[in-house]
Structure 1
């Protein structure tokens, strides 16, 4: 299905429509990924709920548009368009990994009225409410650039070089696999999963990557967290995540308060859905059961 964003860009969405299911689960992938990363979760939910998985602009089969729109606020607006086009009625559980989790926060900031009414639960994997690349090894690099006043220059240089670098035959090379394994995975993870993640990441044009960097670094949706806190939230983080270190998951869960459940996966890196599908599936099952029970309680005259 093709969904039109507010600027006319086509956003690709896939719907697994169980006509007997009242609830819809909407999957939002991370930066450098696409809807295919949710394969294990979509398979686990087959026949139980209605499922929507979509590609962010510039990723997968979605269109691109103006580089200036490569912001988290825009991905939140894109998510709103996807919801309006694919899920006009019924309760919704949102699932977001990394940038996808940030997009859900941006949606909450722009449309807080949806949370507690249409959106009844949220699962956030390896994401943050702000301060991207302030912790860990990447935090050291970006912190040094900020202190020296060179971060805007560095980002501008990356954007300028990206179209030329995209012409170099660098895809599917061993050095790319090494970088993907080191950054996104734990050392013992499956080589097949590493190759799949490499293929997804290298399918995104470098100018798209470069355009999103500034938006990711500027991401701060702490003001949106009270809207998220209206519904049950499960926060999952990998203790060995080198992209968004586990401290971000801890801070996010603490800020959300008693509605949030924090799950720390001791031996996981950034791509939790691929490397630990059973834990992600179990967390999603608990969330769906929790919100379903709450709706039955409300329907019988009780309170959530």
Structure 2
């Protein structure tokens, strides 16, 4: 029987799968050696038992607030949780998480700030407890989603906006589309491990030629994998060791990261369906919000721009570019920090956020103790 017009044949799918293997193999090169060594020394059953033990013992991601639902302009349900104060408080601090994560990625900051500030944590569309979106994804759409969450959870009063990675881009998109909100209500902003654009030039820590090859084939690879999500999800379980190695390489900058934290990050990332990964990826190549930062520069509010020194996903040069566009911002570089710097070095990150909150009037100077895990 003839294949349906436009549908890939079995041979075509095998060819795409071959490209997928090549691309993923190149990206995974740094992780694969460690995985291979582990396989030589540790049995598969032992590794699986270790992962189950970590899952059972980890308290991370268990913090919950008062739940609410905001409705995006396309009807998507956006889940948020509010940490309230007992008495009258200052600004509301809104935390926006990154790609393939959830609001739980703020675990340490949430624990340290609980009862000290009014805070809102939300799940981006198609992530965490939020609904699946409809239609193409863009960073501008995420900015409108953030506006919907603010309108639902913090419709009045001053705001401090905190964004990590894609969450930082979301804050930029909000500022671009709603400059009056920034002017009238935003009293502080923190950008963690994020970028204002030029993400199509990323090397992922690879030499120039392999990085160029990955950039060329990765969008097609993700589309092909996203079209066969169920098959790929089964394959994820079969390649759990390689996946764990990839997460560690691209999430953390230090070699001695707590294995429970590494497993916590792995669980968040693997909870993101592959078709969501594929759906969001093209939006990053189109992201360009350098001009939007002018609204923040004009607002003359305290801004923190922070990154891990060894971030391979949004490299330090991208953070430095943001700081250059915001000359009055505080630039903080965390030694041995990777992309998930708020999990890897929570004490350092929380301390910097607390300093920002004091400058923004969300915390009193005498309440500047971090209260978080050291590191």
TM-score surpassing 0.5? yes
Matching of residue 12 in structure 1 with residue 82 in structure 2? no
Offset of residue 163 of structure 1: 4.9
Q: Distance in 2 between matches of 1:152 and 1:47?
A: 43
Matching of residue 235 in structure 1 with residue 310 in structure 2? no
Q: Provide the residue aligned with 1:132 in structure 2.
A: 199
- SS of residue matched to 1:227: helix
Offset of residue 160 of structure 1: 3.1
Q: Distance in 1 between matches of 2:260 and 2:218?
A: 35
Say which of 326, 333, 339 aligns to 1:256.
Answer: 326
Q: Provide the residue aligned with 2:144 in structure 1.
A: 77
Q: Provide the residue aligned with 2:69 in structure 1.
A: 2
Determine if contact 1:67/1:211 at 8 Å carries over to the other structure.
Answer: no
Determine if contact 2:90/2:361 at 8 Å carries over to the other structure.
Answer: no
Offset of residue 168 of structure 1: 3.1
Say which of 332, 341, 356 aligns to 1:272.
Answer: 341
Q: Provide the residue aligned with 2:111 in structure 1.
A: 43
Determine if contact 1:145/1:151 at 8 Å carries over to the other structure.
Answer: yes
Q: Distance in 1 between matches of 2:245 and 2:218?
A: 26
Q: Provide the residue aligned with 2:38 in structure 1.
A: none
Query: Which one is further off, 92-101 or 226-235?
Result: 226-235
Which aligned pairs between 1:138-177 and structure 2 lie closer than 5 A? 140=208, 141=210, 143-144=212-213, 153-154=220-221, 156-168=223-235, 170=237, 173-177=240-244
Change (3 A) 1:158 1:222: farther
Change (3 A) 1:169 1:126: closer
Say which of 174, 178, 185 aligns to 2:245.
Answer: 178
Q: Distance in 1 between matches of 2:135 and 2:273?
A: 12
Q: Deviations over 1:117-155 (max 9, x none)?
A: 211100110000001252443674553466x6x666455
4+ residue segments displaced more than 6 Å: none
Q: Provide the residue aligned with 2:155 in structure 1.
A: 88
Q: Deviations over 1:188-224 (max 9, x none)?
A: 2111111000100011111000000100121111120
Determine if contact 2:225/2:232 at 8 Å carries over to the other structure.
Answer: no
- Please, what is the CA RMSD of the aligned residues? 2.2
- Higher Cα radius of gyration: 2
Q: Provide the residue aligned with 1:188 in structure 2.
A: 256
Change (3 A) 1:160 1:172: closer
Matching of residue 121 in structure 1 with residue 191 in structure 2? no
Count of residue pairs the alignment pairs up = 291
Query: Which one is further off, 19-28 or 248-257?
Result: 19-28
Q: Distance in 2 between matches of 1:41 and 1:224?
A: 27
- SS of residue matched to 2:195: coil
Q: Distance in 1 between matches of 2:221 and 2:266?
A: 24
Q: Distance in 1 between matches of 2:141 and 2:229?
A: 22
Q: Distance in 2 between matches of 1:24 and 1:56?
A: 18
Matching of residue 205 in structure 1 with residue 305 in structure 2? no
Query: Which one is further off, 87-96 or 113-122?
Result: 113-122
Q: Distance in 2 between matches of 1:237 and 1:214?
A: 23
Using structure 1 for the length normalisation, give the TM-score: 0.89
The gaps in structure 1 that reach 5 residues or longer are 294-304
- SS of residue matched to 2:361: helix
Change (3 A) 1:115 1:172: farther
